[in-house]
Amino acid sequence: MPVRFKILQFNMQFGQGWRTEDPDNAPINLALTIAEIKKHDADLICLQEVERAEPGGTQPPMPPNYTRLCEELSGYDSYFAFPREDPRELPFGIGLAIFARTPLRDCARRDLPSPPLGFKFDGVQKTPTDRLLISATTTIGGRDIRVMNTHLLAFFMLNSSSDVHGEQRRMVVEELRNSSAPTVLAGDFNVRQHESLVAQFGAAGYRTVQSEEITWRRFPYVLDHVFYSGHFRLRSHAVHPTPASDHHALVAEFELTDS
């Protein structure tokens, strides 16, 4: 039998739902987030913005949202990581998680430094904090699969571009090139003009499941992707609008080839 699996890519915005008339003050409803995740019945789940950053950038030893997700997704193994603790952290979403129906091993993290671009937040001059890529290996149907998850800096919010400041993308590509196993990379890449991102990762041997349907409610951008190596055949994909976040959910189904 061919090896098949489904992956869910979802920036859950720490459980904050969507309210069109006032998105910044939409209520937090983690139950709605969990229901959205569960309904897709995915074998692999990659989540960004799992937690909301706390004042001063402190990070709780028991992240509350991740702890709740583990309780609700009891049939899954998981790996979670915060970015490096930083007092400059703004009160937005941080933290990455991978959930899998099969055991995870060889879990790893790689910090992705941000450049010292200046910007103002609430009238105070700031510079962006570092980002993160996490990865793990799992075995599905007797085949090892490397799963990666990332959330890159939104340079377009700083009047710049990751085409200009390309170090984070370069480091992700380096991780992709270093993986010899069948590999999927999911995440919120925060690239407004995504054609260059798709071309760059394509040169490393990875395709995105889709680049046409928008995945962000605030602006018509394709920020969320699932990239995959040539070991896979894409069977289907869909973008699912949801009131559970300012991002849509992206689902893809794959089949492992013999190569």
pLDDT confidence band for 189 (50 / 70 / 90): very high
- In angstroms, rounded to a whole number, what is the distance separating the alpha carbons of residues 147 and 43? 12
Q: What is the tally of structural domains in the chain?
A: 1
Contact present, 44 and 100 (Cβ < 8 Å): yes
254 pLDDT exceeds 90?
A: yes
10 Å Cβ neighbour count for 175?
Answer: 19
Structural contact between residues 134 and 96, judged by C-beta atoms closer than 8 angstroms: yes
- CB–CB of 142/179 below 8 Å? no
Sheet holding 96-100, edge to edge: 77-81, 96-100, 44-48, 4-11, 249-256, 232-240
pLDDT band at 257 (very low <50, low <70, confident <90, very high): confident
Amino acid at 53: A
- The single-letter code of the amino acid at 115 is P
pLDDT digits (tens, 9 = 90+) for 85-136: 999 999 999 999 999 999 999 999 999 999 999 999 988 899 999 999 999 9
For the chain, the average pLDDT equals 96
Q: What is the pLDDT of residues 139-178, one digit of tens each?
A: 999 999 999 999 999 999 999 999 999 999 999 999 999 9
Which residues span the domain enclosing 72?
A: 4-256
* 239-252 pLDDT tens trace: 999 999 999 999 99
Q: What is the CATH number of the domain that holds 154?
A: 3.60.10.10
